[in-house]
Amino acid sequence: MSLRFWKINNVKRDIGHYFKKLSPGRLISLSFASMIVLGSIVLMFPALINAGCNVKFIDALFTSTSAVCVTGLTVLDVADTWRPVGRAIVALLIQIGGLGVSSVGVGFIIAARKRVNFKERLLVKEALNVNNFKGLVKLVKAVLFMTLCFETVGMVLSFTVFVQDYPPLKALGISAFHSISAFNNAGFDIIGGFNSLTSYANNVPLNLITCLLIIFGGIGFLVILDIINKRSFKRLTLHSKIVIVTTAALLIVGTILLWGSNDISLMGAFFYSTSARTAGFATYNIGNFSNAGLLVLMALMFIGASPGSTGGGIKTTTFFSLLQATKSAATNAQRAAFKRKIPDIVIIKAFIVTLFASMFVILGTFLLCIFEKNCTFLQLFFEEVSAFGTVGLSTGITPDFCSASKIILIITMFAGRLGPVTIASLWIFKPDANVSYSEENIAIG
């Protein structure tokens, strides 16, 4: 007996040493992967599935990945497939995925009144994309409190709409699920029939409530805190200013382009301009959109939300930095914004993120084209961009994908949620020697 306990303790110690040696990027990736696998197993419990429905492991894995990665792409309708408890599990996965596994974990540690160690602070720093360790515990508390406030208000306001069409108890459940899904930019719904919010296309209150939840969830917790603390645009940090201005510009330009290129209302165009970055709710059938409209949606999905938010994409700050770098190269002017110079390392990082993201999307689309020969290139490209941007908008072809295509989208959603930089950091390249080479010019363009 003592020998068995000795072996068990040794295994525990070895596992502990292994996790301590892992980089923050790898730990975050492993935590997300573990949550996805656990979620897929739970979603296969017969007690959680509606009578007459059959859930395959690949479909449960796809749904769990989409929920944890706050994407919203579905191969099974949540309301039609799972019972209320199963839907609650999906909502929980969305909440954990939106906040980040490490942030939720630290939240439990704080609730238990235990000390948050350095490793846990390092994970939160990496997950929330902050530059230093100062006030991390307070930041986690603020993030959890803000999330609770936004989702509670969103639930109450949504309830006033849904209670007109459903019994009070069911309306409350739909409202809670919708608020969590909207603030975390997930795009899941429990209306049923893969209809999303199409039956509420002309309901202005619900459209505006959903858009506001998506926008606040997508600008990032640091920006929200900065706005609350500074209360003046001039006093905001450069990061907050760039996020706000870029977000506003994308919303306005996206609304105009979508309204002009599709047969939808101005409210519908604004909703899609908001939802495409990176929520995924639908009020019109995207299958009826023009090619120009689909192209606008793909551009918005690829850019996505802002750093430190619940959304995906290459991020608004990356897009802004690329524009400033291009402008600087064309005019020979200094790379600056709001009378502040943008560091060279930021520009380099922006180009790396965009290049990695582009390569990933191209590769994913290529593989989808091989496995789904009955779909058009534009449809497959749209689904791949939607998966990488963790958006969830679809032309309606995802449920009919083969298992290989579903796996491709699962990997894409996972990579999109972690981000190109985190994915790249999973491999640590160590040079053999500290060698400095002479410089030589090459022709570009």
Per-residue model confidence (pLDDT) at position 331: 83
All residues at 6 or more sequence positions from 86 whose CB lies less than 8 Å from its CB, including other chains: 43, 45, 48, 49, 78
Residue pair 46/83 in contact by the 8 Å Cβ criterion: no
Per-residue model confidence (pLDDT) at position 53: 87
| pLDDT confidence tier of residue 13, bands split at 50, 70 and 90 | low
* Identity of residue 156: V
Per-residue model confidence (pLDDT) at position 295: 94
| Count of beta carbons in the 10 Å neighbourhood of residue 14 | 10
Rg, C-alpha atoms of the chain: 22
CA atoms lying within 13 Å on the CB side of residue 40: 19
Average pLDDT of every residue of the chain: 83
Residue 52 has pLDDT above 80, yes or no: yes
Q: How far is CA 381 from CA 18, 232, 318, 395, in A?
A: 39, 41, 22, 10
Per-residue model confidence (pLDDT) at position 441: 61
Query: Which of 50-54, 254-258, 278-282 ranks highest by mean pLDDT?
Result: 254-258
Residue 425 has pLDDT above 70, yes or no: no
What proportion of the chain, given as a percentage, has pLDDT over 90? 42
Out of 29-38, 111-120, 222-231, 396-405, pick the least confident: 111-120
Residue 20 has pLDDT above 60, yes or no: no
Q: Where are the domains of the chain?
A: 22-425
Pairing mode of beta strands 336-337, 340-341: antiparallel
| pLDDT confidence tier of residue 16, bands split at 50, 70 and 90 | very low
Instruction: List, as one string, the DSSP characters of 416-429.
Output: HHH-HHHHHHTS--
CA angle, 53 as apex, 47 and 59 as ends, to 5°? 90
CA–CA distance, 231 with 236 (Å, rounded to integer): 8
CA–CA distance, 42 with 68 (Å, rounded to integer): 13
Residue 102 has pLDDT above 70, yes or no: no
CA–CA distance, 240 with 225 (Å, rounded to integer): 10
Q: What is the per-residue pLDDT across 132-170, written as a single tens digit (0 to 9) for each? A: 556 666 777 778 888 889 999 999 999 999 999 999 999
Per-residue model confidence (pLDDT) at position 112: 53
**CA dihedral over 292, 407, 71, 227, signed as positive or negative:** negative
| pLDDT confidence tier of residue 334, bands split at 50, 70 and 90 | confident
| pLDDT confidence tier of residue 174, bands split at 50, 70 and 90 | very high
Per-residue model confidence (pLDDT) at position 252: 95
Per-residue model confidence (pLDDT) at position 164: 94
Residue 259 has pLDDT above 70, yes or no: yes
